Structure 1
Amino acid sequence: MTSVERVTEYSELQSEAPLESDKPPPKDWPNQGVIVFENVNFAYSGYGPLVLKNLNACIRSKEKVGIMGRTGAGKSSIIATLFRLAEPEGKIMIDGVLTSELGLHDLRKKISIIPQDPVLFTGTMRKNLDPFSEYHDEELWKALEEVQLKEVVEELPSKLETELAEAGSNFSVGQRQLVCLARAVLRKNRILVIDEATANVDPRTDELIQKTIREKFAQCTVLTIAHRLNTIIDNDKILVLDAGRIIEYDEPHIVLQNKDSLLYKMVQHMGKTEAAALIETARQVHLSKHRQGITQNGQVPKSSLSAISPGLVLFETAL
């Protein structure tokens, strides 16, 4: 009877939104990677509690934003709203295009993600890197080389045509994570989401992943769900969630000036030496960024948002 109940439940599940829409986005969309959340509320089911409440935020083109908060604060739910795993209330716009009006394929294939639990499929290494056969061998090898997996794959019996074990069990967790990173490098999307990708890997692989992300995704908007504070302390901004609401959203150095902030308290829990190092890193990043951003007349340049929509600039200023 349990099996019957499951089949009945699955047969009554509400279908997702259409995979294609009548108004597909431009071919080069998104070309800047500006993300705007406007009055976003989100629940995983129609009768469930809200896990995101009145979310308002503007993420500029090429910004690196760390998302942090305690367990259950709503960090992963932000990713669910971006990919529309369930439909949120309110507006989410990417480069001025309302995501709720897009087909799911049009939306999801334009956002790369490196998940916390690396996913490999039964099949060849080629299929895992390029499941839709969109890239040439040279591009596949180059992506593997950039994540330092080229030598590993070359040693496989059939190289790119080697069949992987179920769930990639013949690779270490770190290597599986690097394969996911290679996928993201191949896609060359303007938006990258990192969901605690280095939570389960050794420090050396963590360092390699962080270095590759900084180099290969410098021109992309990157959202990182934080597991280790040192991986996001040098981000352009940190977004701190608590019970589904944004309570802090600014440059790490500025947030750390408030000793009552949740970020400051979490940094202090790292111990005096580590806390001092994190605070100094945030300060140096702040000084470096503002030295580069000040123009000859002493003004910080306008955001590239104005190139998309004047309304976004007004919204950003209001925030």
Structure 2
Amino acid sequence: MPVELSPLGADRFDGWREDVKQRLIARSRESGMRAGDDAIDFAEAFLRDLLPQGPATSSAGLFVLVENSQELGALWLADSGGKLFLVDLGLSVDLDARQREELFSTIRRIAVQHEARLISVALFPQDAQAHALIAGRGFAVASIQMLLEPLPERRVAPHVVVSPMTAERFRRFAEHSEASYAEDLVAAGRYTADEAVIESRRQMRLELPEGIDTPGQELFTASVDGAEVGVLWLGLRRRDGRPHAFILDIEVAQDQRRRGYGRELMHAAEREARRMGAESIGLHVFGFNTGAIDLYESLGYRRVEETFLLNL
């Protein structure tokens, strides 16, 4: 008998939900993405937001994996905006290659039935079972969350001057950053062009409601011999109750690339993060930006979460 999906009974929902919560907490902490109570807060908010009506949430598909009357685990799928999200896979046994093939074929069939154009899954490095499920099936890395901790003591080259961005420069920066981020969302395969414009604008307004004067946000320009070579945007956040810096935007001017300025801007980000009182620094990078990924990893940043997409 093949691996089959059976709906999770409402009487089992509370126990299943607690299992998912504990799995999220453990993997968040193991990866370093979140630490301490942050992992608990994230797991609770995640489940509350994605399952507002509990087992009756219309976008959620909650299943038990069964083979020959034996339960193998549980699967959570969510359907939204033309995408099928593989939200959680909790297995009580390790699936063999045949079982993974049968399970994935069923997930793909569900995606087609829902007229989804993409299958999306966000995984921590420790999600060995889900990684095995999607391996070799055409998924591409769409985006990566990275972390560096503790902050190193690295110097910015003296000829690269990094200083606070002016209000005049900010107006041009905000327009360019919003448009560029929308283009990246499309290039990463995560949004259509119209969706990307809306999402980019939403995030810009969320992060900078007061523009350049928004508390906890610091923006810089980098120059060499008086000529601008790049920009940097840092946001101050909290991680396990301690200050944590996040690189929201970093860009070297098109005509100034391949001169080492990206590395100097990263050194500047770490310097400014220390000045802001942060003990760690994080960033997000799109999977297609392999040059940036190589730079970050050469500086010691490690992957703490990756989002994979399969275009159907």
State the TM-score, normalizing by the size of structure 1. 0.27
Q: Which is strand-richer, 1 or 2? A: 2
